[in-house]
Structure 1
Amino acid sequence: MWELLKKYRIHLVTGGIVLLAFLFYSLNLKNREHANLFERFVLNATAPLHGGIAAVNRAVVGVWNDYVALVDVRRENKELRESVKILNGRLLESREALLANERMKKLLDLKNSLPVPALTASVIGEDGAPWFQTLTINRGEADGLQEGMPVVAAEGVVGQVVKVAGNSSRVLLLTDNASSMAGMIQRSRARGVVKGKGSGRCSLEFTLREEDVKVGDTIITSGVGGVFPKGLAVGEVAMVKKGEYGIFQTIEVRPAVNITRLEEVIVLLKQRSD
């Protein structure tokens, strides 16, 4: 018997302590308003553990909430970026439509002021050379176009139709070396021939030395030759030089139309004389 008690003494002592604690706790159930010494000891002993568990729990909950919030923020940011892209696209479309309307209004005002029938066309191609000697427009023989018809824009003269297909045409620009037209100084009425220089510029040739020409003067079509109506803007005098010899001036002309930004034109449907 003694050997058995000695062998299981630890278990018996532990069980006894637990039993005494249970009995002690049971005896104090009636007095719940005040904690006894044992309860205070247990509370004081387990308080740090409970505090640590609560802190860990708060940290885990905080990290999880931050993660969920971050996921939501990322999703919202993605949605906002998509919305911004859509709004920017619509803004660009609206701005482009506004610019197109402004250009078309200018063209229609010019078209209504012209003394001959006219047809609007869009530029669909341009020469690969740096000076853009020719343009391709989306109007052709099916629209009544013929070779030699003048082409203008809201700012002034563009050139002449030189090749006509069924639904497209090629326009020789006034800056091309092969281009020439009758022109005159609007202020002094001095006359000459506007010839292309092949580098985005023109010159007014065959203007006599004694004619009054100054830098900044506007050059317009003179109407001579019957191709272009009189009074269309051609360009502006950029340089005037009178040599010691010769009967003509050297006059450089800056075209009125910026060919590199041209998008729409007007073709004058004046029938060519055969």
Structure 2
Amino acid sequence: MSRFSAGNQTFFYLFATATAVIFLIKFIFGGYDFLYPDFAEGYFSAAWSKLEILKKISTEALKWRELANENEELRKQNKELTQKTTLAGALEEENKFLRRTVGITAKIPGRFVLGGIYNLNLTPSGYNVLLNRGSKNGVSEGDIVITAEGILVGQVKQVFGAFSKLLFITDPAFKISGKISRSTNSRQAGSTNSRQAGSETKGLVKGRLNEELYFDLITRKDTVKEGDLVVSSGDDTFPPALIIGTVSFVAANETGVFQTVKIRPAVNGESLAKILIMMR
């Protein structure tokens, strides 16, 4: 029988000792609680609870970040959609305006430029009206500004590179030759035909600061009444048949030669965001 070496003997003694210690802990001390006391259990339980809270906070923070990114993306998409909708609306309005201009551009020969008025305010010296077209668009002094329906707005008086100043129709410095234009209606076979009748009642239309016009040089013999339509006569630099307004007041002067006639401008109440500039 061979004998254990010194190293084997040492290992055997250590193994036996460890076995004895485990036996004593189990059966003499009643378990392993003395190696893991209550205060340690509470500490590790609290630590684990805090770790769970941190885990939840981290998870919620990640969710909030994802929601923030999603919200930012939705805002971006909404902005793009709003821009597209706005552009589509602007194009639709421009198309409607162009369709309305077909009639007037067919009646009045010449070249037209689309534009708009972006400022209109009254000053002590008259109206300050700015047009969003200038020399770079081909606009020049004396160009006539009308609406798509042929309503007279005014005349360009000063031109800059990107914009122009407009002499508004109700400005005291504005003048144009005008005449009364009356329509007669006749019915034939269930349809209605309208034609304009000529009128010899002519005068000089002048602007006022109270949003009305004077119709000067109307004699007592001239036929004019409230509600009559006044258009340009074509006897000056303005083309004929531009709509000026309707007669709003007539008073005969018993001792004088001329009547007192006032005109309500047709441009009142009209949208001037889009207008036509008649190039001269």
Answer yes or no: same fold by TM over 0.5.
Answer: yes
Q: Which of 127, 132, 140 is matched with 2:128 structurally?
A: 132
What CA deviation, in whole Å up to 9, does each residue of 1:77-102 have, x standing for no partner?
Answer: 22322332233233223322322333
Which residue in the other structure is 1:72 paired with?
66
How large is the RMSD of aligned CA atoms in angstroms? 4.5
Kindly indicate whether the alpha-carbon contact (under 8 Å) linking 2:129 and 2:167 is maintained by their aligned counterparts in 1: yes
Find 2:245's aligned residue among 210, 214, 235: 235
Which amino acid is 1:240 matched to?
F
Which residue of 1 is the match for residue 225 of structure 2? 213
Determine which structure has the larger helix proportion and give its number.
1
Deviation, 1:148, is: 5.2
1:158 maps to 2:153: yes
Cα pair distance change 1:207/1:136, threshold 3 Å: farther
Between Structure 1 and Structure 2, which shows a larger proportion of strand residues? 2
* Alignment of 1:94 onto 2:88: yes
Distance in 2 between residues matched to 1:64 and 1:102, nearest whole Å: 57
Q: Which residue of 1 aligns with 2:181?
A: 186
* Larger CA deviation: 158-167 vs 182-191: 158-167
Tell me which residue corresponds to 2:104. 110
Structure 2 counterpart SS, 1:132: strand
Distance 1:195 1:38 in 2: 116
Partner in structure 2 of residue 203 of structure 1 = 214
Question: 3-state DSSP class of the match of 2:230?
Answer: strand
Q: Is 1:133–1:175's contact at 8 Å kept on the other side of the alignment?
A: no
Equivalent residue in structure 2 for 1:253, among 264, 276, 280: 264
Displacement, 1:154? 1.4
Q: 1:139 to 1:213 in 2, by over 3 A?
A: farther
Hey, what's the Cα distance between the residues in 1 that align with 2:70 and 2:128?
49
Work out whether 1:222 is the aligned partner of 2:216: no
Letter paired with 1:242? A
Identical columns (%) = 19
AA matched with 2:216: E
Match of 1:6?
none
Deviations 1:134-191 (A, max 9, x none): 7574358x96x88656443313123345568999876543323232222233337443
TM-score, normalised to structure 2's length? 0.61
What is the Cα deviation at residue 265 of structure 1?
1.9
State the TM-score, normalized to the length of structure 1. 0.62
